[in-house]
Amino acid sequence: MAGIYIHIPFCYKRCHYCDFYKSTNFSLKNEYLKSLFLEIESRKDFLKNESIQTVYFGGGTPSVLTVVEIDEILNKLRAVFDLSAVKEITLEMNPDDALPQYLGELRKIGINRLSVGIQSFNDQLLTLLNRRHDTRQAENVISMMREAGFDNFSIDLMYGLPSMDIDTWKASVNKAIGFNPPHISAYHLTFEKGTRFYEKLKQGLLKEASEDESLQQFQFLVQTLKANGYDHYEISNFAKPGKQSQHNSSYWAGLSYLGLGPSAHSFDGKMRQWNISDINTYITGLSEVKDIFESETLSLTDIYNELIMIQLRTAKGLDLELMQNKVGEKLFTQFMTSIKKHETNGNVVLQDGFYRVRKERLFVTDNIIADLFYCE
Ligand code: SF4
């Protein structure tokens, strides 16, 4: 089983916390689309004969494209790959791009899941983040999606924001639940190098949330969503029954994926490739039939670290049998020795062949993962 990711590298403006690759220069959009079609053709053998189950338009902002442009990309994919087994086609969207006609037409061309970057239901925080939308647009988008026939969608929220107190966070979470979305992703802010927030932090103009504040916000999120029927299936992801993201779940299961567009990553089970994070080089490279990606074959240690990093963040946990098969006896023994300490101190539990981080220790998952990493 495999998935396809398409990176749409355009945004109307830059959010102050975001380090995803994107350009605000839309004059390159047509050239980018032509290059994307060339890349689709050139990568037709990457997934070999694996059954493609999911397609995901991420970014950047995929909803800056017209429905015709998105349909052309899908048709190009269908011409090159067998998409007959695809169950989920997701498109990331900004709330202010959502108009009833646009949503209705997306549904008609086969998009069956939307992921909306709401981030907060507080206008002051949305301004601080430099988002394009306001609370009113965030509220409207949910009813518009439902009216357009989308019964599968996700909303993104952010916590650990500077100057956000617990009451403001509670109000955002409660507002979100009031709309009963099938899926919620909630991410803690990280100050990534190269972002406006990072600069402001260094200049002392912004203050990071304290660990206590972050923990309090995380605990409120987890308890409230659980009480409202959400399955906490990955550290940042919550779903109503049957509404888990199939695309992301396949990443976490270690399945193959092909990434298309600048900065997109691909993985075939053994080798990782990452496209150049520069739209001009991407366009030139494809027109001159040059490689636009770098690649590395994963060592056993890389596979070991990756399994720990990805699977311990999921509720399902780390699959011991998979670990043993993938990394060999020496590293498997290393893992069993290292994990014992965390089992003894109550960080993790072994159940049905899977090691899981205990619910009450989820907030320190990253520390557990870092401790388990192996360096040669
Ligand atoms: S958060 Fe999304 S909309 Fe904002 S700059 Fe990043 S990719 Fe663009």
C-alpha span between 89 and 246 (Å, rounded): 10
CA nearest ligand 1 atom 4, residue: 15
Q: Is the CB of 95 under 6 A from ligand 1?
A: no
Q: What is the pLDDT of residue 96?
A: 94
User: What are the strands of the beta sheet with 237-239, ordered from one edge?
Assistant: 231-234, 237-239, 183-188, 153-159, 113-119, 88-93, 52-59, 2-8, 256-260, 265-267, 271-275, 293-297
Q: What is the pLDDT of residue 269?
A: 87
Q: Is the CB of 59 under 6 A from ligand 1?
A: yes
Q: Is the CB of 22 under 6 A from ligand 1?
A: yes
Q: What is the pLDDT of residue 375?
A: 84
pTM assigned to the model: 0.95
Domain boundaries, the chain: 2-251, 300-372
Q: What is the pLDDT of residue 162?
A: 96
| CA nearest to 54, candidates 241, 234, 244 | 244
**CA 361 to ligand 1 center in whole angstroms:** 30
Domain 2-251: what homologous superfamily?
Aldolase class I (3.20.20.70)
Q: Is the CB of 158 under 6 A from ligand 1?
A: no
| CA nearest to 110, candidates 57, 182, 33 | 57
Q: Is the peptide bond before 353 cis (omega within 30 degrees of 0)?
A: no
pLDDT in tens for each of the 376 residues of the chain? 999 999 999 999 999 999 999 999 999 999 999 999 999 999 999 999 899 999 999 999 999 999 999 999 999 999 999 999 999 999 999 999 999 999 999 999 999 999 999 999 999 999 999 999 999 999 999 999 999 999 999 999 999 999 999 999 999 999 999 999 999 999 999 999 999 999 999 999 999 999 999 999 999 999 999 999 999 999 999 999 999 999 999 999 989 999 999 999 999 988 999 999 999 999 999 999 999 999 999 999 999 999 999 999 999 999 999 999 999 999 999 999 999 999 999 999 999 999 999 999 999 999 999 999 998 7
C-alpha span between 166 and 155 (Å, rounded): 20
Which overall architecture, per CATH, does domain 300-372 show? Orthogonal Bundle (1.10)
CA nearest ligand 1 atom 2, residue: 60
| CA nearest to 265, candidates 304, 298, 224 | 298
**CA 195 to ligand 1 center in whole angstroms:** 11
Q: Is the CB of 35 under 6 A from ligand 1?
A: no
Q: Is the CB of 15 under 6 A from ligand 1?
A: yes
The residue assigned the tokens 């052309």 is 72
Q: What is the pLDDT of residue 290?
A: 92
> Do the beta carbons of residue 237 and residue 244 sit within 8 Å?
yes
**CA 118 to ligand 1 center in whole angstroms:** 11
Q: Is the CB of 7 under 6 A from ligand 1?
A: no
Q: Is the CB of 62 under 6 A from ligand 1?
A: no
**CA 15 to ligand 1 center in whole angstroms:** 5
Phi, psi of 155 (to 5 degrees): -120, 140
